[in-house]
Structure 1
């Protein structure tokens, strides 16, 4: 028996598709257990001794308290099956000697294409047209959009996902400007101009967010930033909910400063997303207000959700776990954070 076959991985926030893809690509013989509950202080103590790896997703909360509890239970590795890691206290992981890994690039095109889908839907109002035609209403009144060709698109963050989005927008014949502390030479050769944040948002007809959430850029989109934008700008966020100040955004939607908003993420999404709440009363007034606007499109953290992405997430996560458990060299591996 392989030594890996004696190792146990406990999954939090697990959905049926997680079970399917991780079981399918478990070529290492890991023992795997799937819990639907999210990880936080309320449940950390339920982790049983003998669990080697905790595998978590975007809305699991790995605070210093949680990480200390995991350490005391004998957990050795925290594996994020996502790219972002703002929900993990990395300093606490270092303190207690836990390794932390992620999936830095599971399918950039999946998220970029979803951002484009949201933009096209909001602009050309295909969701409204679909509902009208089903009721035998073929009127075009209220469905007018605009050509994307020739418009200025501001891309905030040009990592793998942002770069994929830039290339799609170039294909539409748009002018693309970008903000990122680390400029992409390939994108510059394609004609994309890098400018400071306050300049790109002034120029943009459309702003798409593709940067990670950090301590420095929380509420990047706030009242001051919105005031500097073109009136009627479209904002798309498929990155992290905390990049947008929801209260300020609602006010800008009310007064017409923002022309349309597409969000696949939401700053309080851990209470809502990945759950069927169709029979519940949702007590989050801000999400209810957002949903009520005719020019707002909300999807439930769906951008990553393609066959290709789920295969890459499962394969990459399990491969990195196997390397860490066998103490193989991981120097300069972007999958390994700690």
Structure 2
């Protein structure tokens, strides 16, 4: 796939504090890449450097053959975490204003705006003032504003914030559709379930440095060990004595047994003692949410490094 955005060796400090160090990644055409990390990890600093809101102390940012200071703004769409719509402006006027800032034809922008308003459940709202909209509706309008000019690169910072589950599903499908049409998407979110459903690749920053870089499958293979959830009245010590068990968490009659990376699941299941009370049993890999928590809290420090894409 064609590389749309290339970030190499990015570094940024404020006074004596290094915020990000040696950050490098690529975003390709038609790819959805998540940039993840706990609060204060350096995600927003990285995005602001890409957008030219601030400038790095070290490293380079290239969009196609353009350097960071030369990137044509009509090629990039940006949905910031901090929302910034003018409250006393009508919805359609707001969208057309954003399109005009990107030198996009107004007639075409109006047609696209009406199409997206209908798709996102805002049909008939084009003459309503932004201040009359709910938080979720305002989020939808700002999303439309970020894509109205058909950008090649779309940067979404917490796009699912403030949305109900139905609207989140609509956003998720729309983001996937944009990628299928060739838009390169860089997405930052703390909602790991949505990231897991939407994104092709993951890039995680911790304490300003890269700790994960790879496809979702790569990350799962390295970090997502199997876990076994058992419903039944069992003594936790009996479960802890089983082979290939890293740890056991128990709440009421539900025990979650976290297994070591070298476990062979069919063999492990066969050696479960008959004395166990098993009303229900399920085997799956730990979720991206759990991986995020483990890496952010250094539980996986022995694996810390990168999952590199081939």
Higher strand share: 2
User: Fold match, TM over 0.5?
Assistant: no
TM-score (structure 2 length as normaliser): 0.23
TM-score (structure 1 length as normaliser): 0.22
Query: Which structure has the higher relative contact order (CA within 8 Å, separation 6+)?
Result: 2
